[in-house]
Structures are given as structure tokens and as C-alpha cells.
Amino acid sequence: MADSRGKRNKTQPSFSKTDVSDAAISAPSETLLSESAIEMTLRQAHEDFISTISHEFRTPLTSIKGFADTLLHYGAQLPEEEKRRFITIIKDQADRLIRLVENLLAVSKLGEKASFIADEARPVLLKPLLERVIQSVQAKAYSKTQLNRQFELVCKPQDMAVWANADQLEQVLLNLIDNASKYSSPETVVRVRASFKPCEAPGSNPSDVLIEVQDFGRGIPVDQLPRIFTKFYRVETPLSQEVEGTGLGLYIAQSLTQAMGGTLTVQSETDKGSTFTLTVPAATVEHQALFQKRRAASTQDVESSTRLQNPDDPDSLVNGVDD
């Protein structure tokens, strides 16, 4: 028995007290450090988010309160033209708050909307959509430099269609074209070009559409390009300080584009301008067939849900459901 115990002891590995202690605490310590680092990162991100939001809300709210107080206390002494100017400023700042809230809501729903955006894809004629977005941007006229902004639209072929969620694609294009208009230099043209992406295989049908939005503004510094699609980030140039924005437009545009199976990239050169390139799937024959099948199934679902048989009269049909 003693020999057998001795043999077992010889085959068992030996640990010093230090070795045992290190082995016992090494893995848990690494886990704790990792969890602590993650917690600190999340806390810092939350604090940065609160700080940014507070700043974005404080600026228009301070302006609204200041001009409202002036009207309240000295309105009777101010000329009508001055009072109208103050009221216009209050309205503009209120509109800015609304845009900020709408953008925040859009950001909060991006994750849950991703699958919905893909499911709602359908063939979308591109040229009418681009024309509608350009007209919308022209109507906004955020500043005097934009009042006579000229747009150049080239769409070849003119009947090209993309496979996308129409509403979300319109929002992406609105963000890109509106930015190009706001940040372009006076007396310059905003160019919007749409074309099929060249095929890699000769003789194959194009699978993607390229939409380029080009401005001739001050451009984006090279060191800031990697961050322009980040939430709340705004390019640090004198012009960006003059133009109102939330720093969410490009983040939303890229997120929606990715949800539609596309990409959004940018090329820019200081003092020459920027070109944003949106790549989205072209509407293929297969897409057309899928859309027709989906629409037929949807029609059948609607008909079956709205045409319910009256249990008291088997020969009659009633709309809706029983009360």
C-alpha cells in the first residue's frame, strides 16, 4: 500500500505555493479586468452621448429662451420688423430641435428596422426619385447661398431601377444631396449621376447601381474622413460652424444603406469638394419575379382577412371582423 501510494505521489505534478496561487487567480483576474474595461468603455460612451446630446439641445433652447424673453419684456417697444425677425429665429430653432429629435428616434430604431428594410425592398425607378429629392432640397433653401443652387442630374439609362426600400432610399439620397447643397461653395453646381456599375465578367448583366453626389465645396480634411460616418461627428471647418446640423445624417445614411445591402463611400479633396458614392443592388429579373410573388401573396392575405363569412348567413360575405 505504501509503495502504491509512493508511486502515485511520484506521478502527480508538484506545485509550489506561488504556482498554485497564480493558477488560481490568473483566469478570474483576467476576466475581471476584461469586464472592468468593457464597463468603463460603456460608461464613457454613455457619458459622451449625454454630453453631446445636452450640447445639441442647449444651443437651440438657449436661443429660443433668449429671444422669447426679449419679446416678453420688450416686445411693445420693438418695431414690427424686429419682432418678426425674433419670431423667425425662434421658429428656426424649434425646427432644429424637431430635426434632432427625429434623427435620434431614427438612430434608436435602426437596429430593429434592419430586417424590415430588407423585407420591404422592391423595384424602384431611380430617375423620378432623384428628381423628387432634388426638388425637395431646392424648396428648403436653408441659406441665401442655396437660393439659386443649381443641380445637374444625369441618369443613364433613364429607366434604370434599383432593388431597395423606397422610403429609406429617399431618406439616404435626401441626406446626401442636402449636405452637398449646404456645403457647396456659392455659384457652384451639385452633380448627381446614376449609372450601372461596370460588370467584372464580360457579357453579364449589371448587378449594382452607382449613385454619385458631387459638390464643389471646401472638402473634408483627410484626417477626418474615417470619422464622418460616426454618430454626432461633424467636420471641423469654418463652414461647418456656419451650417446647422446634428452630426447624425451621414451615420443614418450609411446604416440605412447597409440594411438595404448597399455601400456608401466618400472621396474628398480640400478646397475642391467631395463625392459620395452610393452603391445599391440593381433590380434584376429575379427581383421583379420575387416582388410580383410577394405582392400576390399580400393581396391574397388582405382578401382573406377582409372577406369573412357571416355565420348567420353562409351565402353572404361581410367586411371586417365581428364587434
In sequence order, what DSSP letters do the residues of 49-60 get, joined into one string? Answer: HHHHHHHHHHHH
Report the distance separating Cα 297 and Cα 143, nearest Å. Answer: 48
CA pair distance 64, 97, nearest whole angstrom: 10
Q: Map residue 184 onto helix, strand or coil.
A: strand
pLDDT > 90? residue 31: no
Task: With cut-offs at 50, 70 and 90, classify the pLDDT of residue 209.
Answer: very high
CATH class as words, domain 121-286: alpha beta
Are the CB atoms for 278 and 172 separated by under 8 Å? yes
Structure letter (DSSP) for residue 185: P
The residues with which 111 forms a beta bridge, in sequence order, are none
Q: What is the pLDDT of residues 234-253, one digit of tens each?
A: 776 555 555 666 677 888 88
Q: Is the pLDDT of residue 122 over 70?
A: yes
* 150 and 214 Cβ atoms separated by less than 8 Å: no
Fold of 28-119: Helix Hairpins (1.10.287)
DSSP conformation class of 224 = G
Which part of the chain has CATH 1.10.287.130? 28-119
pLDDT digits (tens, 9 = 90+) for 241-286: 556 666 778 888 898 898 888 999 999 998 899 999 999 999 887 7
Residue 33, all three cell numbers: 479586468
- CB contact set of 26 (below 8 Å; sequence gap of 6+): none
Query: Stretch 277-302: mean pLDDT, rounded?
Result: 72
- Express each pLDDT in 301-312 by its tens digit: 545 544 444 444
**How deeply is 146 buried, as exposed, middle or buried, from its count of CB atoms within 10 A (0-12, 13-18, 19+)?**
middle
* Rounded Cα–Cα distance for residues 219 and 240 (Å): 11
In which residue ranges of the chain is CATH 3.30.565.10 found? 121-286
Q: What per-residue string of b and e applies to 287-311 under the rule 16 or more CB within 10 Å gives b?
A: beebeeeeeeeeeeeeeeeeeeeee
Across the range 150-171, mean pLDDT stands at 90
